[in-house]
Structure formats: structure tokens, C-alpha cells
A = this chain, B = another copy of it.
Amino acid sequence: MAIEGTDTAQTRPIRLGMVGGGKDAFIGAVHRIASRIDGAYELVAGALSSTPEKALESGQALGLKKDRTYASFADMAKREARLKDGIEAVAIVTPNHVHYPAAREFLKRGIHVICDKPLTSTLADAKKLVKAAESSSALFFLTHNYTGYPMVRQARELVQSGELGTIRVIQVEYPQDWLTIEQDNKQAEWRTDPARTGLGGSTGDIGTHAYNLASFITGQLAESLAADLQSFVPGRQVDDNGHVMLRYASGARGMLWCSQVAPGNENNLKIRVYGDKGGLEWHQENPNYLYLTPFGEPKRIITRGGAGMSESIGPSTRIPPGHPEGYLEGFANLYKDAADVIRAHQRGEDLSSLVPNVEDGLAGVRFIDACVKSSSRNAAWVKLDG
């Protein structure tokens, strides 16, 4: 057991702004906590709601200065870019359809963007955002936060170092149950409205996490997919359950299930990867353990921080094994890694990181788009590359 805590607050915190995340929001608070855990950011500005009064009120509640609480992201981007101590990065935590227009404004002005997933609500927007990011001097990070879990990174390293041999089968699933019946809270409302969430429902909200996780661990993107999507709850306009078969260029095959109507599942994201030499398994709800079975040997339980963990994973974990880290620490790893990349960038250096980028975001929107297309064609195979 390595007993050591880490702290990255060695240097001045990065000045952070936030778009979205006001009262009644969920993911904004998560981003704020994640940004604070390692002390690498300081939240100094916000356009926290699309309703100006709410934006102001939310800013005050968070202790923001009044003159840095904005009524719109456009105002914030303009003014902060001109301030001497303006924000260096912005977290975009709005409903999906706002990701593209907001990100564009900040990228345009050289402010780094940390954006929630999925990248955008439409494929067209996603492609435009890729261009915007490519032509900007600023950096773009996408918070597919499950990639921040240490044992997910360990899984990726095991696959990439060949421990599993040639990958044959990928099984990934993300069932939830909170939309089993009609819900009228704010979270449910926008997530089931195609205008704000995009065409995919469960596929966009969680299926895209599952797809990204499989790609992150295996290093492979699907070539084509066949999807059978359902909207089980009467009147629902987007899918709340999706069954997807995947084909990878390497010959590997996958299945992906996402659901918001599976009672008894909270955030039951799980992935299993099988190659000709071994298999591995990881569960989000108990994320400190990774199960590895080299073919013909007993299953081994690799623990976060414990025996069997690769040295390279060390910086992604804070506390000794057996003291569980969770969702917020995994999320914080993305913020911490992004801070390292931003600081290197500020020093003129180019640092690579494991944080998903705009291309990963585009791949995710392609996935959603292909699911919706395939399902509308009776689950015909649809390519993801175009």
C-alpha cells in the first residue's frame, strides 16, 4: 500500500467561468466540485442560467462578484476576454443544444473550453464545433467523465499492452431507471425534449457514455451499427431504451444496451472486453475494482492503488487502496489533467492527456446519429464514418 496523498494546488489556480449550472441544475454542481477537489481552479465568473434573474441569483449563491455574473454566455465571453484577469477556461454545462453556440464564442476568443457531453445536439453542430476547435488557439476538453476513473484507465492500459490479446467481443451497458414513468422535473424535461437534447434520448444521454467508454478502453471506434430503439413511456418523443449491435474494423463485435426504464438500475454502467488471451470487467457502481482473467488462470481483482495497478495510473488516484474513490474523483481527474494541459499550453508546451477531445465528441454524436438512423430503417446496418 502506497500511503501518500496528492495535492496539485502548488501553483496559482486557473480562473474558471461557467455557462449553465444555476439553480435546479445537476451537472453544474458536479463540475464545480470536480474543479475544486485538487485546488487547481477558482470559479470567478458565470452565465449560470438562460433566465437573467436566475443567472444573477445563482451567481450570488455561489459567491461570484456581481459584475462577473452575466446574463448570457455571449456577454461573458466578450467581457471576460477583455479583462486582464479574465477567465482562462470555461465549463459549459448547459442542455446539449447550447454546447455548440457557447463553445464557439469562447474558442473564438482563446478561452479554453471544458464541455459536458454529448458534444452537441446535432451532427451538423458537432462538425462545426470540430472546425471551431481546430481553428482556435484554445484547448477543448469533453467531460466523458467515466474515462477519469483510475480503473478505467487501468483497463485501457491492459488492453493496449496486449494483456487481452486480439479483442474479439465488447459488451457495454448503461441502464438507469429514473424515467421508468413520466417525470416532470427539470432534468427529465430537457432530456426528453428533442429540441434541447437532440434526436437521441437514452442513446444521447447515456448510450454515448457507454460507447465512448468502449472506445476509450479498446482504442477502437465502431465501423457500423444496427440499433433497435424504443420509447416505452407513452408520449415520450425520444428513445428511452436502446439495443445496439456494433461492428469494429478489426473484426471485433460489440453489443451496447442503454436504458432509462430498467427498474433496479441507478447508474449501472458496466463494460466487459474479451480478447483471445483474456477478459476484463469493470462496474461503475463499484469502481475501485477491475476484474482481469488471463485465459486459463484464476480471475484477479485489481484494486485502485493496490497490487496489480500499473505505475502509470498512480497520478489518477489520491488515496490508498480500500478507501474508495468515486464519481467525483473520477470527474476531478479530467479537471486535473485539463489543468496540467492548460498550464503546459500557457508555458508554450504541448502536453498530451487522456481527457476526451472534440474528435471523441464528434465520434459520440456520430454514434447517436447512426443509432437514430438505423432504428428508423428497421435496425439496418449504418456506417459511422461519414
Contacts and interface: CB of A to CB of B under 8 A. Distances in A.
A33 B7 contact: yes
B298 A279 contact: no
A53 B316 CA distance: 29
A307 to B, nearest CB: 5
Given A169-B241, A241-B253, A285-B288, 12 more contacts: A5-B28, A5-B29, A5-B30, A177-B295, A226-B228, A228-B247, A243-B245, A263-B278, A264-B281, A298-B301, A298-B308, A325-B328
Contacts of A318: 29-30, 33, 328
5 contacts: A5-B26, A5-B29, A180-B295, A228-B247, A259-B274
A187 B3 contact: yes
For this chain, the copies found in one complex come to 4
Interface in A180-232: 180-181, 185, 187, 226, 228, 230, 232
Interface residues of A, number: 104
Contacts of A3: 26, 178, 185, 187
Interface stretch (A9-17, A68-76, A356-364): A9-17
A9 B267 CA distance: 27
A275 B232 CA distance: 10
A234 B67 CA distance: 66
Contact of A169 (B5, B259, B319): B259
